[in-house]
Structure 1
Amino acid sequence: MSLVINHNLMSMNASRNLNESYGDLSRSTRRLSSGLRVGTAADDAAGLAIRELMRSDVATLNQGVRNANDAISMVQTADGALQVIDEKLIRMKELAEQAATGTYNDEQRKILNSEYQAMASEITRISNATDFNQVHLLNGNLSDKGMKIHFGTGNSSKEDYYSIKIGTTTASAFGLGSAAAADPGKSIETQDKAASALEQIDKAIVSKDNIRADLGALQNRLEATISNLEIQSENMSSAESRISDVDVATEMTEFVRNQIKTKSAVAMLSQANSLPQMAMQLIQQ
């Protein structure tokens, strides 16, 4: 290479190498400080797109877990109310059994019937008052249309939803109490009516137990769903980490290498900038 003064090609070459090494050093510093291998689209465009989709799925799965937990809380609320209703039905059957025996007269049966009707009214009150987040659960509100619980990442009715339906549990729906019209469980004010009420109360207990059994099965399914969603979220997070997170050991090696290259380029640039002075020495002689 000729000794010239119009162009310092060595300096230009050293400057270019310094810029490249410094850029690599800057990238390693950013990755180590952020913990991310893919911090910008320039790092890995395809990886960035995949990572963002995975992150959205992880966030959705985690929300699905919360949705399923809320559904379990709702089911437990309904089941707790049904447990109280169960106690009222047992008491009504006890009263009907008492009124069905011949050792009581009709006047006494009317007294028993007063409590019987009070129990029926309480069953209706509980059914109408039981709600979760202002959604009534036992008054028939969910008997037909039901409630959809969403927990999946898509919109498939089979894979991403549960439909919760809860039958009506008012006294009239069970055929009990004064609101039950001509049903056998309307009252226990006579011996015959009390005897007929026993069978109607048994039917009400079976209906109530079927509802509770469905709720129990649904709670078990929701708990299994939560377990599955948590596993999916964990595995998705692991996959996202492999794409996005920096390997600290490997990147630290790159950082040291780039640091050495940068220092070397700075030193050589300083030397290259001093070379044209050799030409000046020739001119001055």
Structure 2
Amino acid sequence: MLSLNTNAAALSTQSALANSQKALTTSMTRLGTGYRVNSAMDDAAGLQIATRLNAQTRGMAVAQRNTQNGISMMQTAEGAFSEATDILQRMKDLATEASNGTSSTDDKTAMQSEYDALGQELGNIMSNTTFAGAKLLKGGTLATAAVKFQIGASASETMSVDVSTALGTTLEASLTAASSNYTAAGTGTELTATANATITKLDTALKDVGTVRSALGAASNRLDHVYNNLANMSTNTTAAKGRIMDVDYATETSNMTAKQMLLQAGTSMLKQSGSMSQMVLSLMQ
């Protein structure tokens, strides 16, 4: 129908142009940002899934740092115990030598002097080994309670390391028994009076140090495996989020080209639709 009041062709063309322009704007936005989903309108379900995946990925990244910090803390303690073991070994050497009948009183006194110094340093190591400003061993983090590590993105993913009894009670008692200078400076009698009995006390102290070191080493190994697993999960979770959120440039470029052509064609047809009114006037002449 030819009409001056209503140009149906122009109206249809305008609607098509609006849709083409909207689609072109969407394609250009995606190509400009690199994301297929830039708002919930683009993909409501996909955005929700991607948000959860992103939260999981961020949580795992923090958990990876937690595991590394945990390993570092236990390696610090392990280093202290390594030095403590060397000191105890030297103390045992002195006790064994002092127990021999060829050692004179002067010899034992000289050995006792070194033994006392070693005992003091043992106490210093146990009292002043710190990590991030907090004491670790004697009266510190590891000796007073279980240490809990957050090793995942959810609240349930935790790991507890408890050496408080082995360190704070058992080892503390054996070190105190092995050296009077462990707790306070002075002149001991471990070698000058009871050298043979001291050998047994030092054996006990070495065993107790080994027990704690073994527990810390096992925990460190577990944290290392936790870190590796988190890295694997993080990689795959990030890839899954990318498949939802990232734009496919090949596909979207094709879409943009098609919408540009439609927009150009629609603009041309809108111009042509104006000629419909001229046809009505020609009938009236």
Per the normalisation by structure 1, the TM-score is 0.90
What are the residue-to-residue correspondences of 1:129-140 with 2, within 5 Å?
Answer: 129-140=128-139
Whether the aligned pair in 1 keeps the contact of 2:163 and 2:212 (CA below 8 Å) is: no
Offset at 1:267? 0.9
Q: Return closer, same or farther for 1:188/1:19 CA change in 2, 3 Å cut-off.
A: same
What are the residue-to-residue correspondences of 1:86-105 with 2, within 5 Å?
Answer: 86-105=85-104
1:197 corresponds to: 198
Whether the aligned pair in 2 keeps the contact of 1:36 and 1:246 (CA below 8 Å) is: yes
Following the alignment from structure 1 to structure 2, what is the Cα–Cα distance between the partners of residues 24 and 264? Answer: 15
Following the alignment from structure 1 to structure 2, what is the Cα–Cα distance between the partners of residues 172 and 165? Answer: 15
- Equivalent in 142, 160, 163 of residue 162 of structure 1: 160
CA displacement 1:171-201 (0-9 Å, x = unmatched): 86452211579xxxx743435x101111111
Gapped runs of 5+ residues in structure 1?
A: none
Following the alignment from structure 1 to structure 2, what is the Cα–Cα distance between the partners of residues 175 and 118? Answer: 16
CA displacement 1:69-113 (0-9 Å, x = unmatched): 111111111111111111111111111112111122334322211
Following the alignment from structure 1 to structure 2, what is the Cα–Cα distance between the partners of residues 62 and 180? Answer: 42
Following the alignment from structure 2 to structure 1, what is the Cα–Cα distance between the partners of residues 159 and 274? Answer: 71
Q: Which amino acid aligns with 2:59?
A: T
Q: Which amino acid aligns with 2:273?
A: A
Gapped runs of 5+ residues in structure 2?
A: none
What are the residue-to-residue correspondences of 1:30-41 with 2, within 5 Å?
Answer: 30-41=29-40
1:145 corresponds to: 145
Following the alignment from structure 1 to structure 2, what is the Cα–Cα distance between the partners of residues 9 and 64? Answer: 63
% identity of equivalent residues: 33
CA displacement 1:103-149 (0-9 Å, x = unmatched): 22334322211211111110110111111112211114223412111
Q: Which amino acid aligns with 1:91?
A: R
Offset at 1:4? 1.3
2:281 corresponds to: 280
Whether the aligned pair in 2 keeps the contact of 1:147 and 1:164 (CA below 8 Å) is: yes
1:265 corresponds to: 266
Following the alignment from structure 2 to structure 1, what is the Cα–Cα distance between the partners of residues 204 and 146? Answer: 23
What are the residue-to-residue correspondences of 1:224-235 with 2, within 5 Å?
Answer: 224-235=225-236
Does 196-205 or 249-258 show the bigger shift? 249-258
Whether the aligned pair in 1 keeps the contact of 2:81 and 2:213 (CA below 8 Å) is: yes
Q: Which amino acid aligns with 1:33?
A: G
SS in 1 for 2:149: strand
Offset at 1:279? 2.5
Following the alignment from structure 1 to structure 2, what is the Cα–Cα distance between the partners of residues 144 and 264? Answer: 78
1:207 corresponds to: 208
What are the residue-to-residue correspondences of 1:1-285 with 2, within 5 Å?
Answer: 2-141=1-140, 142-156=142-156, 159-165=157-163, 167-168=167-168, 173-178=175-180, 187-190=189-192, 193-283=194-284, 285=285
Following the alignment from structure 1 to structure 2, what is the Cα–Cα distance between the partners of residues 125 and 180? Answer: 8
SS in 2 for 1:175: helix
Offset at 1:251? 1.8
Per the normalisation by structure 2, the TM-score is 0.90
Whether the aligned pair in 1 keeps the contact of 2:27 and 2:252 (CA below 8 Å) is: yes
Following the alignment from structure 1 to structure 2, what is the Cα–Cα distance between the partners of residues 29 and 259? Answer: 10
Whether the aligned pair in 1 keeps the contact of 2:123 and 2:182 (CA below 8 Å) is: no
Following the alignment from structure 1 to structure 2, what is the Cα–Cα distance between the partners of residues 172 and 119? Answer: 15
SS in 1 for 2:148: strand
Following the alignment from structure 1 to structure 2, what is the Cα–Cα distance between the partners of residues 187 and 207? Answer: 23
Offset at 1:241? 1.4
Whether the aligned pair in 1 keeps the contact of 2:148 and 2:158 (CA below 8 Å) is: no
Offset at 1:55? 0.1
